[in-house]
Amino acid sequence: MKWAEKIRQAIAAGHVAVIAGRCSISYVGRASSELGEGERLIIIKRDGSVLVHRPSGYEPVNWQPSGSKIELYTEDDEVVLRAARANEVLKIRFHGEPEVSVYQLVDEAEMVMYASEAEMKKAVLLRPELVEEGFRPVAEERAAGRAGKVDVFGVDKNGVFTVVELKRRSATPEDIKQLARYLESLEEELGRRPRGIIAAPSATKRALSLMKTMNLEYRCLTPRTCMEILRKQKGLDAHF
Amino acid sequence: MKWAEKIRQAIAAGHVAVIAGRCSISYVGRASSELGEGERLIIIKRDGSVLVHRPSGYEPVNWQPSGSKIELYTEDDEVVLRAARANEVLKIRFHGEPEVSVYQLVDEAEMVMYASEAEMKKAVLLRPELVEEGFRPVAEERAAGRAGKVDVFGVDKNGVFTVVELKRRSATPEDIKQLARYLESLEEELGRRPRGIIAAPSATKRALSLMKTMNLEYRCLTPRTCMEILRKQKGLDAHF
DNA sequence: ACTTTTATTTCGCCG
DNA sequence: CGGCGAAGTAAAAGT
């Protein structure tokens, strides 16, 4: 099979191979799956990652992450692509001759992402009024016993200990419970219960009602706001 | 630009377009990201999902899930592909002429997956001795106050209430804490603390030590074992 | 090396 | 339709 040889050479040369064709797929590993005959797009990268994409959907239907060992062999007159990792095997059996394209991609650019949860914290430390007027951070990542670590720990305008939990996405009941556990742990340690504030772009209904019950507070804070503040600061830094 | 027109037509016809070429990418939405010039593989599916793949790595570096609106336009003599969803915009700016392949994929096959957490539960309900000799399930998905829902609730051979938490992967401290919260909630409701058992293929060291502290029990149960039991049952069903 | 946490998570199910 | 938890989560960060 000439096309199979083309794939072998692409892998050996460290190129990216894209295969479009009729195949059936089996996966055995953490789970098992079977997918009957159909036309799919298969991508093989130089690091050994394999992706199988159906004609719709964001997620691959089957895959193997980087580092898997890729083999091509013939079985009953059909070509089988086998991608194996520890305890996990993905087999793609081709029916008929697929279209194979090989690309030599050079990509040295670095990905820059803004406004992660870490950057939200930076913004809050830079502009504590984002949380509340008069809030003063005392520490970041303060330990809260065995409950874990608090995002930002400080005192409010009245000198009351205040815990701020940052989320870059909508706050869920799970987040509220986590904050409650922090407060419980800190209450033991400090002798009095600190205020608890969740700062997130939004909160689910149940999260809000749970906060009411648990006497916790919500403050709207979007990653974008944080990003803009950091960007401004960056501009200032460059200026001086 | 002839190649841009080819992409437009592919989208209109409901085909899958694969673009290989030099581009730079910006994303603004839940976060923001910038990726400078480099050669990448871009996949556009008929449902509006867009994937940007670098030459290595399982995950796309940028993407837009299905349902996004795709536009192609020219800006400063360069083609820009814009994929937009509510509050999220992905822009791919092409530098030079990329290779464009269009595939008409037909895939009606149904994916069958074995041994999800749901199937582990089925197996336990079918063969409660997987958890412990003499264990009898009373309910599945029993509510545990505001802590959430318990996977399997039953009584052990001595008639003691027992909560089983199933995990298809290694049990973590977070899982243990979750089980503990269930028990706490059920203790309030039932007046006495039930036994708590985590059934998972393995457990992390900290999870195990936490279980000791919290007086919770571990039972090894792999998805594969559950799968085999269900498969046997399936065979029996077919027989009768 | 192994464990834990995060994610532009996405996806599916249940209320 | 929104909330909530699972995923073959994968990949990064922490220990």
Backbone angles phi, psi at B232, to 5 degrees: -60, -45
By C-alpha distance, which of A28, A75, A25, A86 is closest to A51? A25
A29-to-B103, B116, B170, B200, B223 alpha-carbon distances in Å: 30, 12, 14, 16, 10
Region A63-78: mean pLDDT is 96
Of residues A38, A66, A111, nearest to B56 (C-beta):
A66
Which pLDDT tens digit goes with each residue over A72-124? Answer: 999 999 999 999 998 899 999 999 999 999 999 999 999 888 777 777 888 88
Backbone angles phi, psi at A23, to 5 degrees: -160, 165
Measured between beta carbons, the chain B residues lying within 8 angstroms of A105 are 20, 38-41, 54-55
What pLDDT does B189 receive?
Answer: 87
What pLDDT does A151 receive?
Answer: 86
Which pLDDT tens digit goes with each residue over B168-184? Answer: 999 998 899 889 888 98
Do the chains contact at B56 and A33, CB–CB below 8 Å?
no
What pLDDT does B237 receive?
Answer: 67
Q: Residue B156: pLDDT band by 50, 70, 90 thresholds?
A: very high
Which pLDDT tens digit goes with each residue over B108-123? Answer: 999 998 888 888 999 9
Q: Which residues touch strand D (CB under 7 A)?
A: A 27, 29-31, 33, 49, 62-66, 85, 88, 90, 170, 172-174, 204-207; B 57-59, 113, 116-118, 148-149, 168-169
Q: With 70 as the cut, is the pLDDT of residue B240 above it? A: no
What pLDDT does B144 receive?
Answer: 80
% of chain A with per-residue pLDDT over 70: 95
Q: With 80 as the cut, is the pLDDT of residue B234 above it? A: no
Q: What pTM value is reported for the model?
A: 0.89
By C-alpha distance, which of A172, A230, A226, A174 is closest to A202? A172
Contact (CB, 8 A) for A99 and A23: no
Do the chains contact at B30 and A63, CB–CB below 8 Å?
no
For CA atoms A69, A70, A71, A76, the dihedral sign is positive
Stated in angstroms, how far is A112 CA from C15 C1'?
40
Long-range interactions of A227-231: CB distance < 8 A, separation 24+? A227/A114, A227/A115, A227/A119, A227/A123, A227/B32, A229/A123, A229/A126, A229/A127, A229/A130, A230/A114, A230/A115, A230/A119, A230/A122, A230/A123, A230/A126, A231/A114
Average pLDDT for chain B: 92
Which pLDDT tens digit goes with each residue over A155-202? Answer: 999 999 999 988 888 888 888 888 888 888 888 888 999 999 999 888
Measured between beta carbons, the chain A residues lying within 8 angstroms of B31 are 113-116, 168, 223
Distance in Å, alpha carbon of A114 to nearest chain B alpha carbon: 5
Six token digits for residue B211: 């279980």
What pLDDT does B215 receive?
Answer: 94
